[in-house]
Amino acid sequence: MLTGRMLDRRYHVVSRIAHGGMATVYLATDTRLDREVALKVMHADLARDGEFVDRFIGEAKSVARLSHQNIVAVYDQGSDGQSLYLAMEYVPGATLRALLRERRWLPWQDALALMEPILAALAAAHQAGIVHRDVKPENVLITPDGRVKVVDFGLARASAAVGNTRAGVIIGSVAYIAPEQVTGAPTDERTDVYSAGIMLFEMLTGRQPYSGETPLAVAYAHVNSDVPPVGSLVGGIPPALDQLVRGATSRDPQWRPANADVFLRGGAVPARRSRAGRLGDRGVGGAGRAGSDRGGHDGAGRRLRRCRLRASRLRRRGVRRNRAVRHR
């Protein structure tokens, strides 16, 4: 535990935020700039691996060049003894995983409102030549005022430097992993599209598409089985949205949207085709499932309302910008 320590003579570690398979995340104070940061400290076995360290530093430099409102900013990278770390923007709030644990499923309008900033973040990374490779609800942060940010770009690629030398190791979270990550085929932007499609499937249905007795069994289900149509599990889903999820989660990358931007533009279609589900009309709970009494008055509901309102404002700004361009 690093709590209470000064890391690299700069970062005073305040408390532990989270612990994962690759790293532990701490809340810290940057004593030079007098601001809160999130410190992601890699586990010791990774920090001792020279190949991982080299890849980690290279990926950190690439990600630090990304500047987008929906991407968690990387401020610094360094080491202190056995502690290899990233200093990142501290984002208060909760993960999408926490939201799904609380609410299980989301009305399709709310799911699309959340997917818009997620896909916008991935699209910005794809444009810069960066593929996330570990898109999952744990890597999506939602602030109390409804901002959505994606974290951990590049870390899965860095870990592949270690994983490729270990027989039977699959890089990525098996519930969201793309078939090509399982088989060892080349990965690209469409790998993120697949994982984002699985995440959208879970938001709409309240379940992941595959289960198995072991993580390896779940991973190979992505290779050997098609994702069930959302409409076969949930009522009231627009056909265009059902088709969007099916396309994004195709086992063959050539049938998926080419990148997150194409996926994002596809997601705007079902949103435009229905005016129902506006927050002022129906609230976060929405319709479409019998027996739901969730009116959206809790903290999660407030976050979702703010996400929807932000997405609506962004869409209006985009329309105004497009019209301005056309009239030049």
Helices (H) and strands (E) in the chain, counts: 12, 9
CA distances (Å), origin 32, targets 4, 5, 37, 74, 90? 17, 15, 12, 16, 16
In the annotation, is 192 catalytic?
no
Q: Using CA of residue 320, residue 322, residue 323, residue 327, what is the dihedral sign? A: positive
Q: Does residue 133 come out as left (phi exceeding 0), alpha (psi in the -120 to 50 range) or beta?
A: left
Any idea what DSSP says for residue 137?
G
DSSP H helices, the chain, are 44-47, 50-64, 96-103, 108-127, 155-163, 179-183, 189-205, 215-224, 239-248, 260-273, 279-282, 299-326
Which one from 110, 134, 152, 261 is the annotated catalytic residue? 134
User: Which residues fall within 8 angstroms of residue 99, CB to CB, at 6 or more apart?
Assistant: 137, 142, 300, 303, 304
- Which residues carry out catalysis? 134
